[in-house]
Amino acid sequence: MAAKMMWFRRTTSLLCVASVLSGCHKPYIMTQVDYEYYNTPNPVTTAPVPDSPDELTPGGAPRSVADPTRKKDWILSLEECKRIGLQNNKRIAYLGYEPGIAGTRVDTALSRFDAFYQIGNQWSYANTPLANNIQVFGTGANAITTKAAGTSAGGFGTNTTDGGATSDVPNLTSTPGQDLMSITKRNATGGFTKIYYDLDYQNNNPVGAFITINPYWRSTAGVGLEQPLLQGAGVEFNRAPILIARANHEEQIKTFEVEVQTMLRDLELAYWDLYNSYEVLYSREAGLEQALATWQIERNKEIAGRSTPADVAQTREQLEQFRAQRITALNDVLLRERELRELMGLPPDDEFRIIPKDEPSFARYDPNWQLGVTETMQFRPDLEAARFAVRAAEIEVLRQRNGLLPDLTVNGTWSIQGLDSQWDQSIDRLTDHKFDAWTMGLRYRRQIGERAANAGVRRAQLTVSEKRNQLRNLEHQALHRLAESYQNIISNYQLILAQKDRREAAAAQLQAREQIYRQGVSTIDLLLQAQTRFADALRDEAQALVNYNKALAEWEFNRGRILTNDNVVLAEQRISLASGKLRSDRAKWWQCSIPLRIHPGSRVHGDLGCPPDDRPLYPHDVWQGVEEIDNDSAKMNEEQPIPNIDENPEPGKLPAESTIPAPMNSTEEPPATLPEPQK
């Protein structure tokens, strides 16, 4: 007997050691194949030179000012630029997964109300020594052998749910494996319902005189219910995690829309920056050609004895200045092209040179400020995302307030039983409904002080105040950005007209100075200044034109309409492929889950006990004393004469009466296009 006990102890010890070692066996978190895959450089960096712009593999070193040319020109339109950017932008590629990840949390929250089906059994064997012979009276045995099958009183396995709505896990569902067959489900009100069937089997050997039925089959069927009445009760509380998950999902969708809109705006700005860099390069090359011709003339005059070395050196200095400016402009072209490639998801450089195809718009646009403000507050996705964050925070306050209630829970069970020597006969006796049992219970519990519950409520209230003030800050910034783009549209259009007249005047001056210089009447200084002014006028006119188109793009972005303007639609792939009925049902479900409509800048729920943070965006007392300040400013302005500007001039137009001189050739329309850049 001692030898058997020693063998048992050794075997148990070895099993324990083996289990511990097996739990700490792997010292790494990935296999060797995974390690090699994620630590091998991307083969795209060593791929051959592409044959078309659609290939995303770089070939060779990037271009520089020493070797700026390539074999092929890629005449790229703005629409094609945005299409490629939407398809290949690396940042959008991974940010597009965020709404899907947030959407899975909605299903996780809904899974709280999933029904669980469970089936299982347990077998046992016991050879029990007896201290008395009552159980085996008349047999003469000193032990009894029991073979049994059925569910365990304590259950086994891992719980698949977190229990009821209260902080404690209800005993009704805390032991998976307790029933042979059961269906359990959480109710929308926070309760827990179970329908179950148990089967027990027992066979004793030897059979004593006091054992009536051997073997016996016991069948039990019943229902159980546990329902909280205060803490954890109610449809609103139990659906709160679902509504919060849905609000977070919608917030992620709007956040992704912000990224898409930002990318489209940046693409358009980068496209016009590349166009402007070509125009600057063209203006520097135009000045370089004129400076080269002037230097050659002065060089020939010096050889003929009709020019001084100072004049030759001065023209040479002008030539080298334009040459340096051309190198800088050429480097800026390469820089702007690389920035555009980065946004489009293309390699830094390849066989193709990108040349903008579209011309900037000269058309006059008068933005509607009031409509712009309305659309900004309604369509800006970052504001919509912030409102969903407020929505989720307000629901969390309601959920945390539930923790201040005491835990009052009732439970009850009702079951019927059938016992017989055969399993089918036990079912028959069960259906006869002669033996039943029921239980009913009540539990009341409350924490003294409730510090954790009060801290949770206070934390949720502060979060609501934080989210609301974040929304106010975003609205404030959005209005300022909209005002900035509104002013830039008007000012840049007026600047286009002024720069156009300046360029025409500089061209006329250069032509006249050149004629006078060739006649020998004027000095070289005036001609060189005229050349510089004409080149600068070309550059500044192109810059004003590009800034005007960039301001138009900023206006569409700041009022949240750039996707509509670019004909871009965001849709969930799963929903876009579904039928119309499924999409309408989804919209109906979502609307039904929101008790109140979300309005810009308003609260979803009533008073939540939060700190005062629902003030208007711009309170009325902000403008107290503004009238006196305006009067003082008017007195100051009377001392210094200024142009007589109308009080409310039309957007984009000069005042009717103004001391500003009228531009030259003001009745003429601006040219349709600027001179083509040299390619």
29 pLDDT band, cuts 50/70/90, is very low
Helix 381-401 × helix 451-518 angle, to 10°: 170
Average pLDDT on 127-136 reads 62
Least confident of 49-63, 208-222, 537-551: 49-63
- Residue 313 domain-assigned? yes
Residues 205 and 126 in one domain: yes
Residues 194 and 248 in one domain: no
Structure tokens at 676: 């083509």
Residues 504 and 625 in one domain: yes
Residue 10: count of CB within 10 angstroms of its CB: 10
| Better pLDDT: 39 or 284 | 284
Residues 626 and 515 in one domain: yes
Helix 78-88 × helix 309-344 angle, to 10°: 50
Residue 532 clears pLDDT 70, i.e. is over it: yes
- Residue 20 domain-assigned? no
Residue 204 clears pLDDT 80, i.e. is over it: no
Please report the pLDDT score of residue 214 as a whole number: 76
- Residue 592 domain-assigned? yes
Please report the pLDDT score of residue 582 as a whole number: 60
Q: How far is CA 515 from the centre of its chain?
A: 63
Please report the pLDDT score of residue 277 as a whole number: 92
What is the span of the domain harbouring residue 478? 241-387+463-598+607-639
Residue 2 clears pLDDT 60, i.e. is over it: no
* Domain count across the chain: 2
352 pLDDT band, cuts 50/70/90, is confident
Most confident of 85-89, 293-297, 523-527, 541-545: 541-545
Helix 369-379 × helix 381-401 angle, to 10°: 40
| Better pLDDT: 553 or 202 | 553
Average pLDDT on 379-388 reads 91
Residues 471 and 371 in one domain: yes
End-to-end CA distance of the chain: 101
Average pLDDT on 611-621 reads 64
90 pLDDT band, cuts 50/70/90, is confident
* CATH, residue 561: 1.20.1600.10
Residue 485 contacts residue 554 (beta carbons within 8 Å):
yes
Residues 345 and 440 in one domain: no
Please report the pLDDT score of residue 566 as a whole number: 87
Residues 531 and 414 in one domain: no
Residues 277 and 226 in one domain: no
Residue 188 contacts residue 199 (beta carbons within 8 Å):
no
Residues 200 and 291 in one domain: no
Residues 229 and 249: their CA atoms lie apart, in Å, by 31
Residues 213 and 192 in one domain: yes
pTM: 0.71
Residues 91 and 204: their CA atoms lie apart, in Å, by 71
- Residue 21 domain-assigned? no
Least confident of 497-506, 557-566, 576-585: 576-585
Average pLDDT on 13-30 reads 43
- Residue 525 domain-assigned? yes
Residues contacting 565, CB < 8 A, separation 6+: 556
- Residue 481 domain-assigned? yes
Residues 625 and 498 in one domain: yes
Residues 344 and 380 in one domain: yes
- Residue 566 domain-assigned? yes
647 pLDDT band, cuts 50/70/90, is very low
- Residue 202 domain-assigned? yes
Please, what is the average pLDDT of the chain? Answer: 74
